[in-house]
Amino acid sequence: MLPSLLMLPMVVLQAPAPLPVVAAKDLPQAPRGPMVPQVRDLGTEHSIFGKTRRASRSGPSIPALQLPASSVRVTDRIPDAAGWRAYALEVPAGGKVKVAVVEGRKAWFRVLAVNAWGQDEPGLLQNRIPKGDPQATYENPTQETRTIFFIVDTLDVNMIGERYTIDVTRG
């Protein structure tokens, strides 16, 4: 029986090539960020930290970092009391992109995908119920290049400096 098992053709599985790693501090600022999305803040509480977070999220827009036109892994941290970070992506006609938190305390994050107005639009898919798998995707259904924003949001108050890593996979 053993010799017959050895005669079976071996299937060689190739692991996908690792994504190039970029630190967020090396990414340029986007020309503009998205408007603040009208979603429930899951990290709000009735303490001074919660009031500070609410106040810092009341601005008209979120500053964003511009992501490159290729798949990439980004290492970053939560910069301030608002508890979120926005990334801008140019998605060509028919293009697909997925952003997922892959390292850090994943269950404490969520990923929101929005257009420039901070709203949903056709092609955006995201987890509305936090299940510990923070990711969102966009498939451009139009015939033009679209700028889409992915927001990495925290689910707990006072996560300033919390480190995380996202994978930006283009298809």
Evaluate whether residue 1 is within a structural domain.
no
Alpha carbon distance 148, 45 (integer Å): 30
Q: Which residues pair with 124 in a beta bridge?
A: 138
Taking only the tens place, the pLDDT of each residue in 6-44 is 555 555 555 567 899 999 999 999 999 999 998 888 777
Q: Is residue 64 part of a domain?
A: yes
CATH of residue 116: 2.60.120.380
pLDDT tens-digit series, residues 45-83: 788 888 888 888 888 999 999 999 999 999 999 999 999
**Host domain of residue 126:** 24-170
User: Residue holding tokens 């490159």?
Assistant: 68
pLDDT tens, residue by residue, 57-67: 888 999 999 99
In a domain, 37, yes or no: yes
Which of helix, strand or coil describes residue 114?
strand
In a domain, 7, yes or no: no
Task: Give the pLDDT score at 143.
Answer: 95
Q: What is the mean pLDDT of residues 139-154?
A: 95
Within a domain: residue 127?
yes
Domain contains 5: no
- Which tokens sit at 10? 């071996």
Evaluate whether residue 47 is within a structural domain. Answer: yes
* Residue % of the chain over a pLDDT of 70: 88
Domains held by the chain: number: 1
Does the residue 73 lie in any domain?
yes
Amino acid at site 78: I
